[in-house]
Amino acid sequence: MSSEQLSDLFDQLGESEVYRCDNPNYPEIWFYDTDEDGEIERYHSTFGFDCDALTTSQTPKQVLNSLRSDNVDVEVVDVEVLEEHRARVE
């Protein structure tokens, strides 16, 4: 699994779209997005949906595994869905 495969997945997102991930076995959801430099950012329910830089939390391989996991429901949603979740915890 290369970083090219991962960037291809994020290149498919529209400008206002993010990946919403949900593992039905756990009460957690998280989102993946990219910043203006193309760096992947994660917003996890455990951290109140604050931005979590992948350099400290996950490797690109772990992100790719998460997005392709049979145990994780992944859908592309508008960034407003992420903002709604963030507003609920404020």
For residue 79, pLDDT beyond 80? yes
| Residue 53 confidence class, pLDDT cut points 50, 70, 90 | low
Count of structural domains, the chain? 1
Per-residue pLDDT at 89: 83
Domain of residue 60 covers 3-89
| Residue 73 confidence class, pLDDT cut points 50, 70, 90 | very high
For residue 27, pLDDT beyond 70? yes
Alpha carbon distances (Å) from 8 to 1, 5, 13, 38: 12, 5, 9, 11
List the beta strands (DSSP E) in the chain: 17-22, 29-34, 40-44, 51-53, 73-78
For residue 72, pLDDT beyond 90? yes
| Beta-bridge partners for 61 | none
Per-residue pLDDT at 17: 96
**Residue range 57-79: average pLDDT?**
89
**Residue range 8-16: average pLDDT?**
89
Smallest CA-to-CA distance from 77 within 25, 30, 39 is with 30
